[in-house]
Structure 1
């Protein structure tokens, strides 16, 4: 008897060990890193992997993927909002039972949200990653937190959703959702904002409304996709069973980048193949082509086009939508014409609907209305619209026509010719002959002009030694001046026109008095050799943008360091903005805000060498003769001595505009300029300074007051009830609040700031930033 009991205990122990080995292939203390071995944990068969998946040249995401197929398809992604990680992170199963993503600076993020500490983990052959407690009970599993895919044996639970990826190579959140609603309906929506379940935005559903509050989407091992209610009753087959599986065929259902969800199969000798899709119409997903773009089919493939007067925001990613390619000017009817898009349908979001007997009357109604930017003519109704338009698609035989108001000047288009009222025009033989003759004459004139200009420039070049190099054409090279030349040009540095962080600015003239210049005499800058200083000047000299003050030349003689700029006759934005006798108009302020944003975008992303300004403020924004805003003092931050600051040792910038990371010894990135821009944008909106102790207590700190007005829904107070475009005011306030977020990662890049200001992309509601000004 004792022998039998002993044998029973031994077998029980062996079975426990076997179970532990089966499920606990990842023990406490195990870790992964992207560029060392191991970088992932494999399932027992090696079919699935959990760990670091490469995305881009030096970025990695924490993901689950098929590891034994040529196209290593990702089926689950951690932190779809911001999945990318650098190569110096570590994924660790800690000794206290947490799965933690550890950064190089020691910051840690718990990946799953299990309430209890885990004892082990497993990457299963089903594609499920699981955390267990000491009794091998499941604490957390990836199957219950899907991202854009479910695999065979997995369910999409009620009140859960799948969100498409941004692109095939970017697994962050995209623009489409498949949601299993609590009313029993499986529905697809465009991901427009935080409110994803908006019935009138849906473009596909299972039509199972009212089937119960606990309906699930199921995919079995035979490739059968269906809906079950809480009693286990099959209420709808989405796809038929493809074929009985012997374990060698895998299935997955994914909501793809284009907004269509598809069922795929994979056999050992083949690649992924589509077995079923929710629709064959690739233009059906709403918003596929982004704001101000519309979808049309070509050989059954979706093709994105732009509205007349618009270009793609990114030619390589046309799904991002379109932005205006013309500038805005006056409201007068003669400045605009209407362009027509026949057979197109859009989201119907009018601010006015009028009866219209014909399309010509609808055109006239929009042209004579300053608020009208577009109109939809359908069923003898003229629906006036404001931009942006969205959810556009071309529908054959549709009676809906879109009318777009386009400026008559500087209009260009990169899209297909759009139909107008008379249809497509055919050039006559005589017009073609005229065009050819004009082109030949223009070519001859250009050739002659080119020869003359070339000869003139060669002559000027040979004359340079006799002119002391004053007036050197800046298109040829950055001018190197002597100190005596600049002393003479400024009449002994007599007329001071400005003073800032770097030194004093004087007015001068060159080229025999024909060109006015501004000479900045640098003070208290870092001591460096002539070669290093010239290198910095060449970097600044290669920056050319209409919203940057142009550097014409420099002087480096001994301790004398001077910079020569184009002269800005209308002073700084500070003087222009804060004059109580005449504030700039709302339209002028909108233009200024956009011009500055475009200038900073150029410095951050578009010039040859990235430049972080470090001191964005109204004093460093200058106004030219046409009151166009231009950024000055860019590229000079690294020339400052460490103690040359306004308030804080080691901080570059001006109190109230500097980002919080300056005070926390964190790395300084382009997001520091974004913060400064956000503070200045509030000043531009409100025509007041960031700090004004003469106002009421709750209005002293501008950022706090703006946030308060935004939360109370009373933005009119910010502009003294001035007549403004309320939609644009709200847009600018939301952009400013995003820009001044404490966490640099939450602030948008300047590219996104420009797109948001232009109205090209939507702006989610910003969280309330903690005011830094109030703490200093």
Structure 2
């Protein structure tokens, strides 16, 4: 088949002078161009077509990098399968570093085409089975860079698409794997996607099996800082997780020790996720030798499917069936294990089949108990689905859910860990004291006559049968006494629980259907029992805060950890499952500048969220009412930490989250100036009828962006506006709208140049100011020191104040599209991006705010209390500005997108 590729070297081009031999070659090229179609090019132009047959003499290669280190090829890794793939190969080592169609192989006669629309692979029926995105700009050439990156370029030689942005199971030196990016292992002997993945997160990189973590990179590396991770990169010295715009190493793995010889500059390195589930770094030297420089996990037993389903991995990788199971000679051997497929030892039992949508018959369910030394790989990386429950509760929960295949129960903490959908290999229990009493139970189905040794789903907590069969009457008497003591304690506990419930208005327990939601919704944080929260808070005794979403109480858990328990009061008729779905999203957000949700409690119609406790309280208490003056450095760190938290919500989460209520009350402080944002994502918990009340909630006045009051869409720029208002308060040390008098003759008049200033205030020589407007006036005049908290005296420099003032004014501009993103706010604060210049015309609306504030201040304290809490449209005006009543907003506008 013909080809119109641009050939890097061709005898057809050697025609500078007459030579009979060259003339013959030239005529041969003109008459038979396809004879040279099998040569490897350094660049390919549009309308290029190729098959494996065309380039079989060059091992399937049709495109090479400048120095021929890499080739783009059509290859067949397993000849007997006749499955072909478009790949990029490192020539000297033969390592495949990228594959286009790993899940959709083609045949040797299938076509590869490159056109202005990009790359496309066709099957034998001429149907496209893989292509680059079709919404790209028109491309003109395809090139393979010396780094191994396959790129498509437009007419201006700008990269339109790059293979480095779509890694498969390998990255090479210099290639970045961004946060959220992943490597997916191939199958054994094939290029198709396997069951293991390696994912870069915001605080670590994780190895996963079917979405469950089984190893974290920090367990084999050094943590250098607590910045949020932005990407992973590898060079000849090590593997690095980078943060702070690529300037800070968060986690590092050294590939050289101090006594290593000088590295071969021509050596080639890859980081690969192997089909076995281990990730490693290998070096290929120019002489042809190879060396593995790093591999994790070191213990193969930590890899979830090392011994197959219900295999037990011990003694450095030796496989056997888990206790209560044996290899069945009637079944085919599992190729991933050294023994047969594991089945229950009790022949009357069988493992559950796949879920078919019907509810399981719990009367046919029994549980096989695993040995005391057996644990499961995911238990140390996941939260229990239930806390402070007994074994029967955990058992009933699993029995009522078809996707539950087993569970581990810790008697000491009453924790229940569920195994869902698939079962991997079992491991030997570690020496950690937190899991020493954790026992495993595997769900089985009765298919014959039961035999002894299996735990029934409804089994009694006390072994009565064992007591009856004891040969000694003395021992039997002791057992009877023990039973009576146990029974008495159980009755006392029930009476105590009933007393607590009646005092606190506890409703009925959740139904079996409701309990199933807690397992069927993935990603839920720890579920606390209602009694546990009652005890932790001493009956909700100590209130430490309140806000639009509920009241917050301080509590102390049984392990001594302090927590903040928020009782949600704004949910109304919202469904339980909707609540749990939102909590699953919020609970999986972990970032250094966001308050971590430790767990929740859904008890009847009551909902509680359990947060980590921040011992310094909220910013408003510390900044506005604190006993000591907050120094400028701490204020700056709070401003930066808050900006980072909002930037993460807007761009770092899988689902964008708009906070909708950024204010000092929702910025919490801990020791060493740690700052964290709370109440993020809770706007999605509002029911439709309560959405309309959201903006009238206590404490929101002064932070509402103008678009809240119009039909404009609510976006992440709404949070930017609120952040700007908070930043001004951080600068001043007081609320923006709190009264403050300044002399009209002091040159600090907030309404300088405003002909509509209040006559009475001018005559008196004193007037209240609206600080954002005052900041705008001082910015116009370059008098930034007038804006700093006067309590700081001379402990802050002018340029430091100017920096925050300019950023704040950029954030509070009326047009949302003129406000910077929170990512750019962080960059400006960190000094890696020039400061923006606020547009005065987009800030003139502050003069309206200022006039309104002045009018309200003149009405006095008593009259102010009788006014609505939100900005009101001035009497006698007929404007359609941002101050229309909030009562006309839709619930969708208030709740906002996630």
TM class by shorter-chain length?
0.3 to 0.5
Give the TM-score taking structure 2 as reference length: 0.37
Give the TM-score taking structure 1 as reference length: 0.42
- The structure whose Rg is larger is 2
